[in-house]
């Protein structure tokens, strides 16, 4: 029991690190630090860095949360700690 709980928590933390890495790379990376560079590329009429900063990052945030919900619901059931 003790071990499975530790494993559950470790899995949770690894999901968190993965998703937060994406969160950071998209918003602070593509939207700010590398935006000037990405602006050399275009997505229709949008310079790419500008698009990430004012549109793309927000879409990615929404997707990240729903991916997390899906992963955690699956994990809760697998380790039998979900709510009845």
Partner 1 sequence: MDTQLWTYVLVGATFLIYIIVAIWSRAGSTQEFYVAGGGVHPVVNGMATAADWMSAASFLSMAGLISFMGFRGAQYLMGWTGGYVLLALLLAPYLRKFGKYTVPDFIGERYYSRNARLVALICALFVSFTYVVGQMKGVGVAFARFLNVSFENGVLIGIGIVFFYAVLGGMKGITYTQVAQYCVLIFAFTVPAIFISLHMTGNPVPQLGFGSKGRDGVYLLEKLNQLSADLGFEEYTTLGKNSLVNMFCITAALMFGTAGLPHVIVRFFTVPRVRDARTSAGWALLFIALLYTTAPAVAAFGRTNLINTVAEKPYAGVPAWFTNWERTGLLAFTDKNGDGKIQYLADTNRNELTIDQDIMVLANPEIAGLPEWVVALVVAGGLAAALSTAAGLLLVISTSISHDLLKKYLKPDISERGELWAARISIAVAVFAAGLAGLHPPGFVAQVVALAFGLAASSFFPAIILGIFDKRMNREGAMAGMIAGIVFTAAYILYFTPQLGGPGTSEGFWFGISPEGIGTLGMSLNFTVSILVSRYTSPVPAEIQELTESIRFPRGAGEAHDITIH
List interacting residues with partner 1 (CB under 8 A).
5, 8-9, 12, 16, 19-20, 23, 27-28, 31-33, 35-36, 39, 43-47, 49-51, 53-55, 57-59, 61-62, 64-66, 68-69, 72-73, 76, 81-84
Whichever of 3 and 45 has its CB closer to partner 1, that residue is 45
Shortest distance (Å) from residue 50 CB to partner 1: 4
- HEC string of the chain equals CHHHHHHHHHHHHHHHHHHHHHHHHHHHHHHHHCHHHHCCCEECCEEHHHHHHHHHHHHHHHHHHHHHHHHHHHHHHHCCCCCC
Residue showing tokens 């619901």:
73
Shortest distance (Å) from residue 78 CB to partner 1: 13
Shortest distance (Å) from residue 73 CB to partner 1: 6
């Amino acid at each position: 029991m003790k071990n499975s709980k530790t494993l559950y928590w470790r899995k949770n933390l690894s999901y968190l690190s993965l998703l937060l890495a994406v969160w950071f790379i998209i918003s602070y990376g593509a939207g700010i630090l590398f935006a000037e560079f990405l602006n050399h590329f275009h997505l229709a009429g949008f310079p790419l860095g500008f698009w990430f900063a004012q549109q793309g990052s927000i879409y990615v945030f929404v997707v990240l949360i729903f991916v997390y919900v899906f992963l955690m619901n699956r994990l809760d059931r697998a380790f039998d700690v979900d709510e009845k």
